[in-house]
């Protein structure tokens, strides 16, 4: 592993995307999104995804010149078609729009169809929480997860984000419906490192921590077994219905992780009560949540707490990256 300063990483990724024909404003925003994911410790959805995005641009799955456009809505909700443009930028703009709606009405919804992969789902939760909004968002994906008891991948790992603003540090839940994201397992597999918990099945359909075996079999473990695959199933249907877009089944027929359906729900908590009461309530809940650990010295963390710690550390020491990935990304320059 090597450590790279945030500014150097952001500048490098920006140059890579400029080389792919992305216009400067878009390339800068995309570089910011990908670099901040790596800064927060999510290299699997930051710099590690740059080669995949370059490949998708070159194969015309991602169309950098395309803009999303509105297809329906009213003062409380909007429907957009992502037009197969740059996934993270469409998702970023959808978050901005849903916050605008919530600012005017207390809450709002944006449904987005035909988008590309939005990379780290938590990006949009942190953006909203930093601006004082609660955000609930999710996406469907290509089928990459088996319903519990099935031998075939029929549902997506459909990441779900719930973000809550807080003066002492935002609360941001960012979770896929698989025990580990595909990017995380790929990272462990490249380093020939065992997962900390069971993450999927080997070729004999036995649960395993072997990341390489899981990648080879392609059968990941849903969180909570049947509960995780059921939640994934429901999120997929709701996203497709509200956006008028594709379900995981339809995405799977194309064989490429594109044409996704995504939902953004924003709430302005300032419209629902006093901020002092809200902050006190959250602080008291966190204190109780962290109050009793299994063993002395162990740390109980609320969602997003570890991200804040990693962000602070990596800003000071530099962002830890796999040298192989860093060299590959620089090879596009």
Segment 54-108, tens digit of pLDDT: 999 999 999 999 999 999 999 999 999 999 999 999 999 999 999 999 999 999 9
The reply to whether 220 belongs to the active site is: no
pLDDT of residue 182: 76
pLDDT class of 245 with cuts at 50, 70, 90: very high
Architecture of domain 66-178+222-272: 2-Layer Sandwich (3.30)
pLDDT class of 125 with cuts at 50, 70, 90: very high
Q: Mean per-residue pLDDT for 168-179? A: 94
What tokens were used for 26? 């878009």
- CB-count exposure of residue 309 (10 Å: 0-12, 13-18, 19+): middle
* Contact criterion met (CB below 8 Å) for 243 and 109: no
Mean pLDDT of the chain: 95
Angstrom distance (rounded) from CA 63 to CA 51:
16
**Under DSSP, is residue 32 helix (H, G, I), strand (E, B) or coil?**
helix
1-59+308-333 placed in CATH 3.40.190.10: no
How many residues in the chain?
333
Q: Where in the chain is the domain with CATH 3.30.1370.60?
A: 66-178+222-272
pLDDT > 80? residue 295: no
Angstrom distance (rounded) from CA 172 to CA 164:
6
pLDDT of residue 271: 95
- Could you give the dihedral angle defined by the CA atoms of residues 179, 185, 191 and 195, in that order, rounded to the nearest 10 degrees? 20
Q: Mean per-residue pLDDT for 156-177? A: 96
pLDDT > 80? residue 297: no
**Under DSSP, is residue 25 helix (H, G, I), strand (E, B) or coil?**
helix
Closest CA to 43 of 181, 176, 175: 181
Segment 204-243, tens digit of pLDDT: 888 999 999 998 888 889 999 899 999 999 999 999 999 9
pTM (2 d.p.): 0.93
Angstrom distance (rounded) from CA 127 to CA 174:
13
What tokens were used for 194? 């065992």
- CB-count exposure of residue 117 (10 Å: 0-12, 13-18, 19+): buried
- Active-site residue (options: 30, 39, 45, 140): 45
Q: Where in the chain is the domain with CATH 1.10.1530.10?
A: 1-59+308-333
């Amino acid at each position: 592993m090597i450590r790279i300063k945030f500014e150097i990483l952001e500048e490098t990724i920006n140059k890579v995307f400029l080389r792919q024909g992305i216009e400067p404003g878009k390339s800068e925003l995309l570089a910011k999104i990908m670099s901040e994911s790596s800064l927060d410790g999510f290299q699997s959805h930051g710099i590690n995804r740059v080669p995949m995005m370059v490949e998708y641009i070159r194969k015309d799955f991602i169309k950098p010149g395309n803009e999303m456009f509105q297809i329906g809505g009213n003062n409380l909700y909007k429907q957009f078609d992502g037009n197969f443009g740059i996934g993270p930028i469409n998702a970023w703009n959808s978050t901005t729009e849903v916050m605008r709606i919530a600012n005017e009405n207390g809450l709002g919804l944006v449904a987005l169809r035909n988008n590309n992969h939005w990379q780290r789902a938590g990006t949009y939760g942190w953006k909203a929480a930093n601006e004082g909004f609660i955000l609930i968002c999710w996406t469907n994906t290509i089928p990459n997860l088996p319903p519990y008891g099935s031998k075939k991948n029929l549902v997506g790992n459909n990441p779900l984000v719930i973000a809550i603003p807080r003066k002492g540090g935002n609360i941001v839940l960012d979770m896929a419906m698989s025990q580990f994201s595909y990017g995380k397992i790929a990272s462990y597999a490249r380093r020939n490192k065992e997962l900390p918990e069971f993450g999927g099945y080997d070729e004999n359909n036995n649960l395993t921590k072997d990341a390489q075996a899981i990648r080879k079999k392609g059968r990941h473990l849903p969180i909570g077994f049947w509960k995780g695959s059921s939640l994934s199933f429901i999120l997929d249907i709701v996203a497709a219905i509200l956006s008028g877009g594709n379900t995981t089944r339809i995405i799977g027929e194309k064989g490429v992780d594109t044409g996704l359906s995504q939902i953004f729900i924003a709430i302005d908590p300032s419209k629902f009560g006093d901020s002092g009461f809200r902050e006190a309530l959250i602080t008291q809940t966190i204190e109780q949540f962290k109050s009793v650990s299994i063993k002395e010295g162990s740390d109980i963390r609320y969602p997003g707490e570890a991200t804040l710690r990693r962000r602070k550390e990596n800003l000071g020491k530099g962002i830890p990256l796999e040298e192989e990935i860093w060299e590959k990304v620089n090879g596009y320059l």
